Amino acid sequence: MNQADLIDAVTSASGLTKGDAARVMHELFQKITTALSHGEEVRITGFGSFAVTERAAREGRNPRTGEVVQIPASKAAKFKPAKQLRDTLNPAGSPEED
């Protein structure tokens, strides 16, 4: 499912126009992005939480040449699913796939 599919699903489920649903989705993503950029955690009950994690600087290798390269420290967004979402994805008693 991509963003356009998500907008279509919100449109049909809510009765909003496609334009209104797109604006709501855009604002939602902007608010999450802004909160994360300020170092805040975003929790959506029953779905999960978004947080910023810091990655330390480290050495890596260029796979083509084998040359050692310095990879600078960086920040990354991480998502941790809520128990309710995990339980929906992994219902109790379902057979495990090999």
pLDDT in tens, 41-65: 999 999 999 999 999 999 999 999 9
Confirm if 47 and 82 have CB atoms less than 8 A apart: yes
Confirm if 21 and 7 have CB atoms less than 8 A apart: yes
**Could you tell me the residue ranges of all domains in the chain?**
3-89
Exposure string for 80-90, b = 16+ CB within 10 A, e = fewer: eeeeeeeeeee
Confirm if 44 and 32 have CB atoms less than 8 A apart: no
Is 93 a residue whose pLDDT tops 80? no
CATH superfamily of 3-89: IHF-like DNA-binding proteins (4.10.520.10)
Q: What is the pTM of this model?
A: 0.76
